[in-house]
Amino acid sequence: GNVEAALETCEFIFNELIPKMNESNVHNSCIMLYPTIWPMKDTGNAERMLDIFVSRVVDPFDRYLGEGAFTFCLPIYDPIMMLLELSIRQNDDVDNLDDILEWALLEDNLRFGTVINGNMTSYGRDANSLSAEICLLLASRDDVDYMSKIQLTRCAWRIANESMDFTLEKKAIPAQNQVRAILQKLETLAIDLELEL
C-alpha cells in the first residue's frame, strides 16, 4: 500500500514534474528529487535513481553553473551519489571504493550543520543520516578491512543517534523512520562484528 503509493508519486515526479522544470534550476530539481531517493533506493531502484539524479542535478550543475559555483544542496551531491552507488553494488566491486572509504573514515566530512539538516529533514531525511547509511553500507562489505568496519560502525552509530535526536526534535516522522531502520541494521552489524556500541 504505502510503498506502491510512494513509487507512484515518484513516477509522477519523474514523468510529469521534472520534465517541465527549467533544467538550469538545479536547486529546485534537487529539492523535487530528494524525497524520491528513499523509496527508490529501498525498493531496489537505486540505479535508476542515480541516473535521474546525475542527469537532472549533477550534470546540469556542471553545465550551467560550473566549477567554483555553489548551490544550497551542493554539499550533499556526492554523499547522495555515494549512497546510491553503494546501494546498487552491495555485493559487487565499486570503482571508487577507496575514495568513498577515505571520505567516510574522516568524521569531519560526515556532518552538514543544522541549516542544511533542517531543510533536508522537511524533504524526508536529514543530511547527516546519508553519512550514517554510507558508513553502514561500507562496514557491511566483505572488501573493507575489520578495523575500518569497527570505526565506520561506531561513527555511523553516533551520527545516526544524533540524526534521531534531531528528527525527533523536528517531529519529522518519515525522517525518524529512515534513521530508525539504519540504527536497527547497525545493531545487527555490531553483533556480527562482536562490537559493543
Give the per-residue pLDDT at 190. Answer: 97
The model carries a pTM of: 0.96
| Pair 118, 197 in one domain | yes
Read off the pLDDT of each residue in 83-99 and give the average, rounded to a whole number: 94
| Pair 103, 180 in one domain | yes
Q: In the Cβ-directed half-sphere of 141, how many Cα atoms lie within 13 Å?
A: 24
* Distance between CA atoms of residues 112 and 52, nearest Å: 23
Q: What is the pLDDT of residues 134-179, one digit of tens each?
A: 999 999 999 999 999 999 999 999 999 999 999 999 999 999 999 9
Mean residue pLDDT of the chain comes to 96
Number of domains in the chain: 2
CB 179 within 8 A of CB 163: yes
The domain boundary, picked from 89, 106, 138, lies at 89
| Pair 144, 49 in one domain | no
Domain extent for 186? 96-197
The domain boundary, picked from 52, 70, 89, lies at 89
| Pair 83, 135 in one domain | no
| Pair 6, 51 in one domain | yes
The domain boundary, picked from 58, 89, 120, lies at 89
Q: Any idea what DSSP says for residue 108? A: G
